[in-house]
Chains A and B, each alone.
Chain A
């Protein structure tokens, strides 16, 4: 919030310093009044956003930080400060470690899968001429749908005996599995569902990115001899999609990190801890076991990971993908 105002003030100063120096005709008090009214307008315009940012974002975050230092239990009327005890517990807890590893694995499945498939489908749709709107719509549908409802549909599909997946596999003579109750399979299966859900989002962004590539560049590539599809892809398409890649990467990674619905509906973190992920752990600790202080500590760690990730991505990738 401070930065918003300081930028406004800096701009104001940058704009007005020369005026102040050159305009001898204006009296100093005139200038000061003008300046005050500009500052007033700046606060007035930024005010509502600032207010809601503080009330809805900064204060709750601050609250979480405070709760993380206490032993508060959800609904309890007393609490006492325990210092960093919650964090010590978080970092020594095997359950949290598993949850963290699971989350990272899940992200490592979902992000590349979503990006590669989304790009592939976008390229296919863009290269064809017919039914484009139809293909776009059906691939985008999962993203629009309520994931909780979709998770129930997936549960039915993946049901070990009556599910369509196993029945189909059995019909064509392939081995079946209990997809959601098998420790080694459950995370990849959730990953596939995650890819399925985010695919449409990535595809739409890639389609928009593809549309904005100037035809001239493809023409130049043709004349320069890069006219095979792989050369065109490598010389023009992929580099020009750089900014879209970065955006999709960050958004899908963040979405994957905060996956909750599928875990809650399909597996409850099971079997064992095999599909437990950070947000689910956070929820269970805070609202089922009512260990809100511990949950808040998990939330702080979670927030720290997300912010770091975003900053690193933005810093590292921004330099590489923006050519302007």
Chain B
């Protein structure tokens, strides 16, 4: 009932178009993340959703209600800002209480001193205080209620901002890079808390981030944005394993996916770097394409059943359980990065010759337009080339 539908949203700032016809529906209770590099329009989309910005064209509905032109406070949305945007002159309690005071007390009742004398103010204020206390307790910040934001740590401020958002039980939570200002350790902790909060409240969350780890761990679905366009909207595992677009494949995954130039050398086989693999992708011989192989698709050592490459080790990065091996391979313009298990890798030192194998079905093919070309079933079923429409 509090799903969101964005229909053909367009937005320009002066000559710069930041959103091109963005359409997206978000289910009630879903956790959707808008993921993209800075400047891709994700925050603008969120602000349009909140009503802080007005779209040039298109329509926004929240819970089956078209909210175009409806003021933010009437949209039943709450927002957590990257800067937290706490009111520095108010205590924690004051910050959390403000949305309730604004809604439940009229302008006269909110007057300092005089307001207290008006009928109803006392009862309502007591109710608000009780709700603020409950919210603070749920977030374990009840001991901070009398402090000012400047006396709080980053993580505590973050919680106050969340408290201010959740105190009035909004239908939709909007979060604009809420963890970016925290240090790495706290970020992981708060990430888990946000996930838990979503599960507890069960309302729709729209979360904006440029951090793929946040997007992957938190979301039911991830919407990858680039240059004002939605490239793909899918569950995190699909975004990673089954990207629709070369840019999605390149944006997700660390280390970055290896993108190699390939050539259809014969019907049903593709050559790249120093190797040729069997892959019926429905292109005629001579066609150029791009191949994406994730660093973690490689295994140490050659294997008869698999694709194989060999090259000279250029750089080894030790990451504890894993090794990132950069390999110069004949025919590849850039070093190929492989993420190998440290246990299973017998030796990898700079200058050494190394054989790596990979499963051909983990290779992703992209056409010159950047769209995914789906390879056939390797068991030899009927060839179907499909390019799925971007969601």
Contacts and interface: CB of A to CB of B under 8 A. Distances in A.
A210 to B, nearest CB: 16
B85 interface: yes
A223 B173 CA distance: 11
A239 B72 contact: no
Contacts of A155: none
A93 interface: no
Interface string A235-263: 11001101000000000000000000000
19 contacts: A214-B83, A216-B83, A219-B50, A219-B81, A220-B87, A222-B72, A223-B52, A223-B79, A223-B99, A224-B164, A225-B98, A227-B73, A231-B102, A235-B98, A239-B88, A239-B89, A323-B88, A323-B89, A324-B88
Given A222-B52, A224-B73, A324-B150, 15 more contacts: A216-B81, A216-B82, A217-B87, A219-B79, A219-B85, A222-B71, A222-B72, A226-B98, A227-B72, A230-B107, A235-B87, A235-B98, A236-B87, A239-B88, A323-B89
Given A216-B83, A323-B150, A224 B89 contact: no
A223 B88 contact: no
B163 to A, nearest CB: 12
B149 interface: yes
List 5 tightest A-B contacts by C-beta distance, closest first.
A225-B102, A323-B88, A220-B85, A239-B89, A216-B85
Contact of A225 (B52, B73, B79): B73
B148 interface: yes
A226 B73 CA distance: 8
Nearest to A226: B102
Contact of B99 (A225, A236, A242, A324): A225
Interface string A200-225: 00000000000000101101101111
Q: How large is the interface on B (under 10, 10 to 19, 20 to 34, 35 or more residues)?
A: 20 to 34
Say what secondary structure dominates the interface of chain A: helix
Nearest to B82: A216
B200 interface: no
Nearest to A217: B85
A323 B83 CA distance: 16
Contacts of A223: 50, 52, 72-73, 77-79, 99
Contacts of B82: 216
A126 B99 CA distance: 26
B103 interface: yes
Interface in B25-78: 47, 50-52, 71-73, 77-78
A323 to B, nearest CB: 4
A220 B79 contact: yes
Q: How large is the interface on A (under 10, 10 to 19, 20 to 34, 35 or more residues)?
A: 20 to 34
Nearest to A231: B102
Interface of A: 214, 216-217, 219-220, 222-227, 230-231, 235-236, 239-240, 242, 323-324
B52 A224 contact: no
A214 B83 CA distance: 9
Nearest to B88: A323
The residue in B78, B98, B150, B164 that gathers the most chain A C-beta atoms within 10 A of its C-beta is: B98
A235 B87 CA distance: 8
A220 B77 CA distance: 11
Nearest to B47: A219
B72 to A, nearest CB: 5
Nearest to B81: A216
Interface string B352-370: 0000000000000000000
A214 B81 CA distance: 12
A242 B87 CA distance: 13
The residue in A219, A220, A226 that gathers the most chain B C-beta atoms within 10 A of its C-beta is: A220
Contacts of B150: 323-324
Contacts of A240: 88-89
Contacts of A235: 87, 98
B73 A222 contact: yes
Interface in B81-103: 81-83, 85-90, 98-99, 102-103
Contacts of B83: 214, 216
Nearest to A220: B85
The residue in A217, A225, A239 that gathers the most chain B C-beta atoms within 10 A of its C-beta is: A225
A324 B72 CA distance: 29
Contact of B103 (A214, A225, A230): A225
A80 B78 CA distance: 77
Contacts of B98: 224-226, 235
A79 B269 CA distance: 114
A269 to B, nearest CB: 42
A222 to B, nearest CB: 5
Contacts of B52: 219, 222-223
A17 B79 CA distance: 49
A236 B102 CA distance: 13
B158 to A, nearest CB: 14
B111 to A, nearest CB: 10
B76 to A, nearest CB: 10
